[in-house]
Amino acid sequence: MDDYLGGKPVQYRELQGHESTTFTSYFRGGITYKAGGVASGFHHVVTNDLTAQRLFHIKGRRVVRATQVPLDWANFNKGDCFIIDLGAVIYQWCGSSCNKFERLKAAQVAAGIRDNERNGRARLVVVEEGSEPAEVTKVLGKKPDLSEGDDNDDIVADISNRKMAKLYMVSDASGEMKVSLVSEENPFSQSALLSDECFILDHGKSGRIFVWKGRNANPSERKAAMKTAEGFIKQMGYPGNTQIQVLPEGGETPIFRQFFQGWRERDQSEGLGRVFVTERIARIKQVPFDASKLHDSQQMAAQYNMVDDGSGDTQIWRVESSGRVAIKPEEYGQFYGGDCYIILYTYKRGQIIYTWQGSSSTRDELTASAFLTVQLDRSLGGNAVQVRVTQGKEPAHLLSLFKERPLVIYRNGTSRQGGQSAPPPTRLFQVRRNLASITRIAEVEARGRSLNSNDAYLLRMQGGRGVVWGGRGASQEEQRGAQYISQLLKCSNVTHIKEGQETGEFWSALGGKEEYQSSEQLESQTLSHPPRLFACSNKTGRFVIEEVPGEWSQDDLAEDDVMLLDVWDQVFIWIGQDANEVERTESLKSAKAYIESDPSGRDKGTPTVTVKQGHEPPTFTGWFLAWDAARWSSDYVARAMSSLKVK
C-alpha cells in the first residue's frame, strides 16, 4: 500500500493493547477486542443473538479497552468492571474497588453491545460484587475469593523517560543495516536530517521509535523502513510492543517535531486544526481540510471522521413524550439545551442516526431519545450507524449537515410549542470554526469572562441591538458566523468592533469588564504548539501521564484526577474534587517534572497555574468550547448513566 501511494503516507505499527494516541483518538467510544480471527470476526457475525455467553474485561479511563476473556471467575478482580453478556440480558459487574467513572465507561460499552449487536432488544443490568443474581451464578458457578486488582494496570508513559531520545543515521550500503549515532541528547537540530538519508529517532525508553525517510534516500532503504525499525528494536533489546512511526520528509507529526529545537515547516498551512498530507504530488505538501475532496480521498475522510461533505438528505425530529415530532426544515441547525433531537442522515453508502442530547434535558427525555433511536433503526432494517452526541461534543460531520448555516446551540430552553420561556434580555453567542468553513455557534454566559481572543461573538443587548465582537485570532468564517446569528435573532442596528475597541456600554451589558482568555497563542491563526490535555497519577509509586486522545472537552475532566492542560506558554494543574491527597500535594512537583522532561527543551521557567474544580479562571476555561460553569453543581456521571437506560 505504501509503495502504491508513492511512499508518502505516515505509517503506524499498532499492537493490541498498546495502540498509539493517534489510533485511539478515532475510537472515542472505546475499543473492543473479540475472540477469534478474520473468519469469526468478519464473516460469522450473528445479530440479535440472544443465546450469547461472553465475558469482557473493561480497562482504561481515557482509552477504554474491552477484551473478551474466557467466561470464568478466574478472570475477575475487585478493581475493575466486567460485562457478562448472556444474550437477552447484559450484566455489568462492578468490583467493590472500582469507581464511578470506570462504571460509566463500562456502561457505555455495554450499551454499545445492546444497541448495535442486539438492536436494543437486550436489557442492561448493573450487578454489584457480592450481589450476583441467580442467572449469573448459574453460568459462572459459586464466586470464589477474588484478587484485589489487575497488576498490569493501564499502560501509560513514565514521565522520567520522556526526554531520553537519541538520533541515528541508517545505512545498508554493506548489504546489512547499520546505524550510526548522530546525537545522543535532544532537542536535536532540524538541519541534522539530510534528505539523502534515512534516520531513526530512538525514544524506545518511552516505548516509541520513529523512522524518518529523506525524499532523496536510497529507494531500498525507504521501502524497507518498517523492517528496519523492527530490526532496530531487536538490536536495542526493546520490548516487542514498542510503537513504530514511519515518516516521509515533509509529513512529520507534532509528536516527532517536539524533539527538535525551533522546527520550521517548509509549507505551513493556514488556519487552526489538523492538516492532511495529499497523495498525488511531487513532494509532500500540507494542505487544509477540504470537504469537496472527501469523495476522492478516503484517507482524508478517516482522518477527519467525515463520511462525506454533508450533501445527503437530512431529517430531524425533536424527542417528546408522545414520540418523534418533525422539525420544520427552516429550523434545522438550531438546537436547544433543554431538548433532545434525532437526526437521520441518508447518503449513497447508507444511513446515520445522530441522537443529540441537550445538557438541560430531563431524564425522561434522555431515556426516550435512546428508545426512539433504536425504534427508528429497526424501522430502517437495523443497518444504520448510530451516533450518540452530547451538547458541546458535536462531531464535524454532524456540523456539516446544515450546509452553509452554522449549527446554533441555545444554552437552555426548548423549541416545543408552548414550552418556551422568555429569553434573557442580554445574550452572548460564541462562534468557533471546526473545519474549514464548518462553524459552531454556542450560547454562553453573558459575562465578560466568557470572551476568547480566538473567537468571534455576538452580544444581543437589551432592546434588540447587536454587537459583533471579533477577537484578534478570529477567522473570517467566525466573523461571518457572528453576522449570521445576528440575523437569525433579528438584531437591530448591528455594530462591529474589534478586540480592544470595546465601549463602556459593551462592558456594562456584560456586567462589567472582566479578565478573559487572551493568550498570545490565540492571536495567531496558526498554533505552533497545539494545546494538549493529560491525566496524571502516581498511584503506582511513580508519576505517570496519559494523554486524552482526539478533540477533548469539559467532559474529559475527571473529578477524581489531577489533569495537566499544556498551552505551551503556561501549564495548568486542574485538581478534581475527588483527587486523592497524594495527588493534590504532589501536583506542582508533577507539573515541574512534566516541563523539565519536555523533549523540545522548553523554558524551565514556564509558569504553572493551579486550578481547583469549580473555581476555574477564564484563562483556563477559554480553551474549552462553551464551558458550562454550572456543570459541577450536578452529578454528571449519574446523568450519563441514566441516559444509557441502565437498571
Note if the pTM is more than 0.85.
no
Q: For residue 287, how many other CB atoms are within 10 A of its CB?
A: 15
Determine the pLDDT at residue 526. Answer: 46
43 pLDDT tier (thresholds 50, 70, 90): very low
170: its cell numbers: 541508517
Range in 97-106, 408-417, 427-436, 520-529 with the lowest mean pLDDT: 520-529
- pLDDT: is 637 or 117 the higher one? 117
Range in 86-95, 334-343, 354-363, 598-607 with the lowest mean pLDDT: 598-607
Determine the pLDDT at residue 279. Answer: 30
Tell me the pLDDT tens digit for each residue of 592-637.
777 887 776 677 767 777 888 988 877 788 788 778 877 787 666 6
Tell me the pLDDT tens digit for each residue of 541-575.
555 667 787 677 888 888 888 888 988 877 888 98
Give the pLDDT mean for 67-82.
Answer: 89
Mean pLDDT of all residues in the chain?
77
Give the pLDDT mean for 130-153.
Answer: 83
- Asked whether the predicted pLDDT for residue 509 surpasses 90, the reply is yes
Determine the pLDDT at residue 276. Answer: 33
- Asked whether the predicted pLDDT for residue 28 surpasses 60, the reply is no
3 pLDDT tier (thresholds 50, 70, 90): low
User: Which regions of 52-107 does DSSP assign to beta strands (E)?
Assistant: 54-59, 65-69, 81-85, 89-94
CA distances to 58, 82, 144, 357 from 147, rounded to whole Å, are 16, 14, 10, 39
Helix 363-379 with 636-643: angle, nearest 10 deg: 30
- Asked whether the predicted pLDDT for residue 458 surpasses 90, the reply is yes
CA 81 vs. chain centroid, Å, equals 23
List the one residue out of 534, 569, 389, 572 whose CA is nearest residue 21: 534
Tell me the pLDDT tens digit for each residue of 240-274.
888 888 888 888 876 787 788 767 665 433 332 33
Give the pLDDT mean for 289-294.
Answer: 47
Give the pLDDT mean for 97-101.
Answer: 78
| Best-predicted range by mean pLDDT (27-31, 276-280, 295-299, 601-605) | 601-605
CA distances to 194, 212, 571, 610 from 190, rounded to whole Å, are 9, 12, 26, 34
Tell me the pLDDT tens digit for each residue of 297-351.
444 444 455 677 788 899 999 999 889 999 999 889 899 988 999 999 998 878 8
Determine the pLDDT at residue 282. Answer: 28
